[in-house]
Structure formats: C-alpha cells, structure tokens
Amino acid sequence: MNLNFADGRVRLMGILNVTPDSFSDGGENFAPGDAIASARRMIADGADIIDIGAESTRPYGGAAPVDVKTEIARLAPVLPKVIEFGVPVSIDTMKAEVAEYALDQGAMIINDVWGLQRDPGMAKLAARLNVPIIAMHNRKEAQDGIDIMTDMHAFFARTFEIAQAAGLAREKLILDPGIGFGKTFEQNLIVLKNMDQLKRYGLPVLVGASRKVFIGKISGAEPQQRGPGTIAAHFEAVKRGATILRVHNVAEMRQALSVVEAINNA
Ligand code: HH2
C-alpha cells in the first residue's frame, strides 16, 4: 500500500476503539455490533482508513493493560467484518503478535504508539510483510524544561536505526508527533506549532489531536464536546504538512476539510 499520497489530499483515519476504557469514547464500541456499525458510518462519512484498537493506550494514565489473548479476542468478532468493507484498516497495538494476527486477517497498516521502540518484533514484522507502519513519538513520562522538538528528532533517529537494522525500508514509515503522549500541555502546543520540522524526513505525517486533553484544558470542554478544538488543531497541522488525520468524528472533519480544499482550489 502506498501512503505517500502524490495528489496532496489529506486522508482521514477513523478511530475504532474496541475497548471498555478509551479516554474519550470508552465502551461506545466495545460491543461488536456497535463497533461494526461505527465503522460503516465512518466509511460513509468519508474515512479513508479505519484504525482499530483493542487496548487503550491511556495517554492520560489509568492504563489497564490487556494480554495478547484478550486483545485478539476483542478484535476477532469485529476486524474481519470491518476489512470486508473494503477500506484500508490499520491495527493500533503495542504488540507485534496482535499486529501479526490483524495483518493476517487483512489489515494493511501497523500503528505503533511506541515508534518501533517497545516491542522489538514490530520492525521485523513490518519488514517481513513489507507493510507501512506508523511510528509515533512517545515518552514514558512528560518532562518539563526539555526541548520537545529535539527530543522528537532524537526519537525518530532511533526509530530509523531500528528500521534499518530490521531490514524495513524507510519509505514504509509514517511519522506521528504523538499529541498527548509524554508531553506537557505547552509541549503539545509547541509540537503542533513546529510540525513543519517533520517535513525534513520526506515521509507522510499523521496527526491525532482528536478530543485530546490539551483541547479540554484550553476550552473547558468534555471529550465529546471537543469537536471544534479538534478541527482547529488539525487545520493548523495540515497547514504545516500533516497528510493523515486520526479522528473520532469523521463527518465533522470531512466537512471542514472540504471547505479548506474548496477555498484553496478557487
Ligand atoms: N492516540 C491515541 C491512540 N492511538 N495512534 C497514533 N498513531 N496517534 C495518536 O495520536 C494516537 C494513537 C489515543 O486516542 P484514543 O484511541 O481515542 O484513546 P485510547 O488510546 O484511550 O483508546
């Protein structure tokens, strides 16, 4: 699958959390029937990719880690049905074993919120099956006072080294600054403001600011009410080179993008 979109159009990735505890929509799509219906709706609303995850990454703490068996058991009644819809599916997991199961079912992209740096099997799996892999910047904990962009470039340098050692072509990587992961409130804003620095790598850039806590902190809005803030953050990210947006509400983001495109094409 080629994700280096030559047409310059921004792609939308719809979030499908088959979890009881995700930070903004935990439980909403935990029942398989609800998850399948949500995927169908997101595709009708214009999703280009569906990102399915069965373990909350809990960027804001309170993680309830699940084992491989549980994660696969949550995916099993949903993933094959979503794949049947014919839209590319990415698997949001921290475990190579789960990623392998999903790719086997027909998923086409791996989404690794640890940028190949947690499970050593991830880079090897992506290399062996020659699939694109989203490498997200992450840190065990936020640290005040560091230069977050320097930290991110050092992180991606390590990711590139791991990819090379595993025989994974650099062109298979999609970079993601990891909004909300291991960053202070200010650092999230700095990252979004300086996102154009990621253009230097010549790789697709994905951003996932949807409903994240920094929007709540600015606006006072609860997760479900963070749509306008999500659109604003993603608009600024697109201006600075993002080509894939990971969102909960596909319809809203699609409408916003179509207006931006219409203005730019006038
Ligand atoms: N954010 C979340 C999960 N996975 N993957 C990428 N590549 N980028 C992100 O920004 C990202 C991600 C967190 O959001 P959500 O899926 O809504 O919550 P949870 O992890 O609690 O299920």
Are the C-beta atoms of 179 and 207 separated by less than 8 Å?
Answer: yes
Active site residue 254: no
Task: Answer yes or no: is pLDDT of 142 > 60.
Answer: yes
**pLDDT computed for residue 242 by the predictor:** 98
**26 exposure class (CB count in 10 Å sphere: 0-12, 13-18, 19+):** middle
14 CA distance to ligand 1 centroid (A)? 11
**pLDDT computed for residue 124 by the predictor:** 98
Best CA proximity match to 28, nearest among 56, 3, 5: 56
Active site residue 212: yes
Contacts 24+ apart (CB under 8 A), 156-162: 156/115, 156/201, 158/115, 158/117, 159/115, 159/116, 159/117, 159/135, 162/116, 162/117, 162/120, 162/123
Output the ligand 1 site: residues, CB below 6 A: 15, 17, 19, 22-24, 53, 56-59, 92, 111, 113, 134, 136, 176, 178-179, 206, 208, 246
β-pairing, 173-176 with 49-53?
Answer: unpaired
Summarised one tens digit per residue, pLDDT across range 80-121 is 999 999 999 999 999 999 999 999 999 999 999 999 999 999
Confidence of residue 5 (pLDDT cuts 50, 70, 90): low
Best CA proximity match to 20, nearest among 94, 79, 74, 95: 74
Atom 10 of ligand 1, nearest CA residue: 208
CA-to-CA distance for 20 and 173, rounded, in angstroms? Answer: 30
CA-to-CA distance for 127 and 54, rounded, in angstroms? Answer: 23
Given CA atoms 167, 163, 158, 96 in this order, what sign does their dihedral have? negative
Mean pLDDT of 122-139: 98
12 CA distance to ligand 1 centroid (A)? 14
Mean pLDDT of 9-14: 96
Residue 246: phi and psi, rounded to 5, are -95, 115
Summarised one tens digit per residue, pLDDT across range 28-83 is 899 999 999 999 999 999 999 999 999 998 777 776 789 999 999 999 999 999 99
**pLDDT computed for residue 135 by the predictor:** 98
**pLDDT computed for residue 2 by the predictor:** 52
111 forms bridges with which residues in the sheet?
Answer: 92, 134
Mean pLDDT of 157-164: 98
CA-to-CA distance for 229 and 216, rounded, in angstroms? Answer: 8
Task: Answer yes or no: is pLDDT of 3 > 60.
Answer: no
Confidence of residue 24 (pLDDT cuts 50, 70, 90): confident
